[in-house]
Structure 1
């Protein structure tokens, strides 16, 4: 587990040399592994979907694509934008995902290399870090996954929240500015 610095990291110091402030854990090793967030962003409804998984391989990616497909009627064609993560690119060598997409009225679209700023979900990840992870030091993966799931549920209920809109808009602007 990696602590995330932020404004709620520790209680404010009460005096010079405050010894009561809790110390951050060192995270030089990952003895319990890492967790991966598989996420989808529906542009038409402005909703975020996500699953926290132990592995992030082809099987998990295909499973998440099936979940995204289940959110829409079968006769509606959907496009799933994929980044350049190796299991996504493996459709050239392992055609399971490509065959599934063709059979289920799904179009797979790939973001160009070094073009992550084109992927609209990236700004949503900035908001997730801001609202759910900054200033935290979760003891377990379960606790962190719960915080992420709670954020996604809150975010989908509060789509018009001014602070959320401000963070997302700022993240989108920064991503575009890096390219210009």
Structure 2
């Protein structure tokens, strides 16, 4: 794992059989239709206020959630510093492989890539379902799994913190379609402004906190 990051960071050259590209992949969610706490725009507090027009909208209660949940499958390409994501209704092995095929299509077939993953069961091959390993062997892909209880080693985790901070905090989306649209717009903005000081600050802080929790 650390060797892959050293190759991706240019700290050591790739040897024979080593991947040329490292992509960190994980699922984010579940994405519920509920008010998310966080900062939001509100009128400046001045005077006693008006009960009919409160300065700050209260978060509504959500006792029933009949619309189900969604999940974001995301990949963070260390070679290009770009984030990719698809919002899906399920996160089973079939959906995982479909997203892996998309990540594979981002680079030519002759370029060997490594995908960093956690040990969530759909990411693994089993005796009854070997599709994950078979696909990796047939498509010039190396699957690298972080240790159990070591999800903080996956660099996409800090990117998820930034996604939550910039795209979801303080929101209350009326539909999954609206929420997915917000996430897609954030990913576009993030890839266009990868060097934005605010974004880099949030990502760096999140990475530091995750390392400190297991130190």
> TM-score normalised by the shorter chain: which range applies?
over 0.9
Change (3 A) 1:12 1:25: farther
Map Cα deviations across residues 1-31 of structure 1 (whole Å, 9 max, x no partner).
0211111075555636745333322223321
Other-structure match for 2:92: 57
Q: Distance in 2 between matches of 1:170 and 1:26?
A: 31
Other-structure match for 1:8: 40
The 5-angstrom pairing of residues 7-26 of structure 1 reads 7-8=39-40, 11=43, 15=48, 18-21=51-54, 22-26=57-61
Q: Pick the structure with greater CA Rg.
A: 2
Q: Distance in 1 between matches of 2:65 and 2:191?
A: 31
Q: Aligned to 1:71, what secondary structure does the other structure show? A: coil
Counterpart selection for 1:95 from 124, 130, 155: 130
Count of aligned pairs: 179
Other-structure match for 1:136: 171
Other-structure match for 1:169: 204
Q: Aligned to 1:102, what secondary structure does the other structure show? A: helix
Q: How far off its partner does 1:109 sit? A: 1.0
CA RMSD of aligned residues (A): 1.6
Contact 1:3 1:24 in 2 (8 A): yes
Q: Distance in 1 between matches of 2:36 and 2:63?
A: 14
Change (3 A) 1:33 1:9: farther
Other-structure match for 2:154: 119
Higher helix fraction (1 or 2): 1
Q: Aligned to 1:142, what secondary structure does the other structure show? A: helix
Other-structure match for 2:102: 67
The gaps in structure 1 that reach 5 residues or longer are none
Q: Distance in 2 between matches of 1:98 and 1:18?
A: 61
Counterpart selection for 2:69 from 5, 23, 34: 34
Q: Structure 1 runs of 4+ off > 6 angstroms?
A: none
The gaps in structure 2 that reach 5 residues or longer are 1-32
Q: Distance in 2 between matches of 1:12 and 1:126?
A: 28
Q: Distance in 1 between matches of 2:70 and 2:200?
A: 27
Q: Aligned to 2:195, what secondary structure does the other structure show? A: coil
Q: Distance in 1 between matches of 2:132 and 2:170?
A: 38
